[in-house]
Chains A and B, each alone.
Chain A
Amino acid sequence: MRTSTRGSRRLMALAAVAALTTGLLAGCAEDSDDGSSNSDGGSGGGKTTLTIGTFGVFGYKQAGLYDEYMKKNPDITIKENVTTRTDVYWPKTLTRLQAGSGTDDIQAIEIGNVAEAVQTQADKFVDLGKEVDKSQWLDWKTAQATTKDGKTIGLGTDIGPMAICYRKDLFEAAGLETDRTKLAEQWKGDWSKYVDVGKDYMKKAPKGTKFVDSASSVYNAALGGEDQRYYDEDGNVIWDKSTGVKKAWEASMEVATSDMSAKLKQFDKPWDQAFANAKFATVACPAWMIGYIQEKSGEAGKGKWDIAAAPTAANWGGAFIGVPTAGKHQKEAIALAKWLTAPEQQAKVFAKQASFPSIPAAYPSLKPQAATTAFFSDAPITQIFSDSAKTIPTQIFGVKDQPIGTAITDIGILQVEQKGKTPDQGWDAATKEIKDVLGQ
């Protein structure tokens, strides 16, 4: 009798442990990134294994492109190595490129890193400009991946043309215009006009809602339409003199010092939740954002969101894929990279993942999913984004573009928005940070 109770007690303890640990550990499965080393391939049945290193969701797998390519080319096997965080992916890729080993056959390059790749790693990449007809791509897109002596190290995948996504129901409750063309007309040409609409919104805002998610998103959206950013053509840092930075900063400061921002940090969990709870009425909306909004708002947001043209044609985000010279199967990798970035494939990725093509020839055939169209109140999604894409100015990027941008948004703007500092204090803090970044 005694032994049996002890046994059952032990069993209970075990069950408790099992239940608790599985419950607690379930969370960590999500954030494990697949950094598994790439296989050499070339062995076994004459098959070539091509590896492709990406960050985040590129949509190739989701759109079934790998399977399609493998069916067409039975001797090729494709393996994707995904690293979720860009801040982990890029340093890892840089060190491997320089070591000349461990790189994937194809490596993705984010727009914020492409200048660094062009200026410091060009000799580590195959010149893809010779392999394709470069004129297919938007000029500014190819220009970003091309060195001064004309070597193109990466083929453009998606771009991030800008629009404004807004909640029609909240606009209506605040007594504002809800028609997308009339709204676009109201703020056309200047982000400060968009801020003015925000001021109107706040006068009669539905309880608990704000006009925009964060001041940083306004900054990034506005800067994406300026031709002058942090660097000039010769690679000199001009961020403190740049007219583009000044304009974008002023627009974001108007948001940060007023009551119209929900003061969230983009891509944080609370930001995700705010989509579901309809805490803000508008968000600067590059093409890749619409999939995000759809996912995070869920069924409740269906038909309540709409899309209007942004004040200026702007670009936010996008990527390239390049072929490192250290790869073992360069010929096959080049063929795959060409195929993946061809207009038909870009259109397929758009249909599945809403990543917007960087080749204009793909635009007439773009079809968003029916669910997406319904979600955004039947807005002419492709029309709005392709109009923006074609008029985006050529922007110059520099080696430390990414950390400079982070210093302005996550130090300067955040201090004003969340800690009640004055814009001047915020600017000084960003200046100090950028000097640290540049080692001055």
Chain B
Amino acid sequence: MTSSKQALARSASSADAAPGSQPGAARRAHGRGTPPPGPDSWRSRLYRWDMKASPYAFIAPFFIFFGAFGLIPLLYTAWYSLHNVQLSNLDQQTWAGLDNYQNLISSDFFWTALKNTFTIGVISTVPQLIMAIGIAHLLNYKLRGSTVWRVVMLTPYATSVAAATLVFVLLYSWDGGMINWLLGFVGVDPVNWRESTWGSQFAVSSIVIWRWTGYNALIYLAAMQAIPSDLYESAALDGAGRWQQFRHVTIPMLRPTILFTVVVSTIGATQLFGEPLLFGGASGSKGGSEHQYQTLGLYMYDQGWIIGNLGKASAIAWTMFLILLIVAAINLLITRRLRKSQ
């Protein structure tokens, strides 16, 4: 502390003593980088305060906004989840304790939604990421018009969920939809894509896959291009074919990227909402007549905004939050394991 003070004082005095320097310039130098002389003057206090507080002021806007639109709603939701609150009567709240949570645990709809979120998450994320790696691998070859191919990959991601889902609803329509029409050629009976359990989950997943595969492929492609080419050359010298190069060079080098996309996709899958809502049409928040594709997000929306049980909807929100924390913790554990094993 003292040594730095001395250093500062020395530099200040040297600035003062500099030949031909203007007094104004010297003062400017004080203002910028050095405290004025005198151990406890107002100026030096202001300076120290500036050094300590300014960084906080710079980062404050985010935290203020986070507090206002993230933390306070989060805590308020927790408060709501312990009460009986109706959307039509927000002022009247009666204490319910853990009733809302108990209600959830004993509700079949909740467990169905949880199971659906998991299954739809798996059947959309796993094929999506595998396809993305494959596509990235193909795009990594020398191609004519490679920019066009890459941009085309990204266009589904740029499409709005609503527009995409509307098109898919038509494709999957039970009577006269294109997919059933194509199935008809192969001799398969028409599938009721909206009301059958696997059919509807497959349909919703296909929308997710369609939208996000290209996005992930581009991330993989970026990572692939960072792999040094001499690795491939030496592998080729060792007699490794394309497939072996892919397995033994590309995949290991992509590991951190794969992990990143898995984490992001898992979070996305847990919060899946727009696609099933719009896929269901007029009463989409139910997720089908047997709740067969109702995700946790939809269940919360249905309880809170359609039925108006804000207390129960808040309990679902908090349960979802806890589930996400658990998922994040599992991801962290796996990451550590993988790092250690390397």
Contacts and interface: CB of A to CB of B under 8 A. Distances in A.
Given A25-B163, A27-B163, A28-B162, A87 B305 contact: yes
Interface string B274-285: 000000011101
Interface in A381-425: 399-400, 403, 406, 410-411, 414-415, 418-419
A68 interface: no
Given A400-B307, A419-B289, A95 B87 contact: yes
* Contact-size category for A: 35 or more
Contacts of B155: 17, 20-21, 24
Interface stretch (B174-182, B255-263, B265-273): B174-182
A9 B88 CA distance: 59
A279 B282 contact: no
B237 interface: no
A410 B89 contact: no
Interface of A is mostly: helix
A16 interface: yes
A269 B158 contact: no
Interface in B126-166: 145, 147-148, 151-152, 155-156, 158-160, 162-163, 166
Interface in A68-88: 87
B282 A268 contact: yes
Contacts of B169: 268-270
A418 B163 contact: no
Contacts of A262: 175
Interface string A8-22: 011011001100110
A9 B289 contact: no
Contacts of A31: 160, 162-163, 166
A120 B88 contact: yes
Interface string A291-330: 0000000000000000000000000000000000000000
Which 5 A-B pairs rank lowest in CB-CB distance, beginning with the nearest?
A27-B163, A28-B160, A414-B289, A270-B173, A410-B283
Question: Which of A26, A27, A263, A277 is most buried by chain B, counting CB atoms within 10 A of its CB?
Answer: A27
Nearest to A91: B305
Contact of A414 (B91, B103, B148, B195): B195
Contacts of B107: 436
Contact of A411 (B89, B151, B286): B286
A270 B177 contact: yes
B305 A98 contact: no
B212 to A, nearest CB: 15
A432 B291 CA distance: 12
Given A28-B163, A406-B283, A410-B282, 6 more contacts: A91-B304, A270-B170, A406-B306, A411-B286, A419-B196, A429-B289
Contacts of B87: 91, 94-95
Interface string A262-276: 111111111001100
Nearest to A15: B148
Given A10-B147, A17-B151, A91-B305, A265 B159 contact: no
Interface string A118-129: 001100000000
9 contacts: A12-B148, A16-B148, A17-B151, A17-B155, A264-B175, A265-B283, A269-B166, A269-B170, A414-B289
B312 interface: yes
